[in-house]
Structure 1
């Protein structure tokens, strides 16, 4: 295996993120969707997440890595994030799928920027939106029209999602320094680059909140 440990870590954490997103979306579709149409739509998005997981699983195998071993260091942190951010209702589930998952994917996308083009292309492919944004924005905006008082509650929920995501991200970076190194191009400028990363994450989060209308 010629790839650096950081590359295997990135593909491993992404693979587990996609697998867990599939499981949670499937669960939310079954337990929280208010209509059959919503259940079908969220289930279709879950299937897309699973297809992304398979792409990452197969690439790890091609690189000579064991996919389960590559994913295992990240299971605890990602499972903890999902447990701590279990949605209480349909609108919370949609905000989580859009805002919470979105900021995590932004983080992975930034980590892949300095990688071999073939790996970066794979990461871009598995991070493609697949209609998640349009679906979530449409449903949340409709929900806010029906109940404008939900806006404040969902704004607080979104802040909690992002706070928990950043906290878990710090845990992962501390435990897997090779992955953290993918975020910086040179050790001499690492703090400035990390600051720019968080500025980018914050800016993209603001755009998502504006799109939702909360």
Structure 2
């Protein structure tokens, strides 16, 4: 499952905005539990993701993207779930400066939202409202565990705002890839909320052609 996810992510990035990206899945041991790292241009020692260059318009600054997912099995050990993820856009291969980064950490314990966006920039209004708290330090909530953005949303943002050059056919590819992510999220939500599913089928099943028996 991790390898399949890596292949899908590699295809999506390679056929939309990336230059020379390779997304791989590597198994690792974390707190006596087998987990998987799915990441861009991943290195083994130490095991971490690396950035890849984006296809930017002529005369514009080069930009680099980093994508990383840590996966583990769910409580039933039936499906892989994202434990942590990171997607960032930076000005070069090593710099901490860039445009933004998006993080997700399941059951994050420091009071910040599990899914959040941090933007590299400055604002005099923000500085007046929150003295001593620069804009890059703020964590903007992004939909929580089930309704968080996906990498496809970030790629689409880069394209529609003219930040990167897209490949032909990018729209259809992104939509197909995003539809799969959203379907998986919906299935996960249904598994965790069986009463909600039962109530929905009880109310709408017949109109949807579902035979309802009690």
Question: Could you say whether these structures have the same fold, taking a TM-score greater than 0.5 normalized by the shorter chain as the test?
Answer: no
Higher strand proportion: 2
Instruction: Considering Cα pairs closer than 8 Å and 6+ residues apart, tell me whether 1 or 2 has the greater RCO.
Output: 1
The structure whose Rg is larger is 2
Query: Normalised by the size of structure 2, how large is the TM-score?
Result: 0.30
Query: Normalised by the size of structure 1, how large is the TM-score?
Result: 0.30
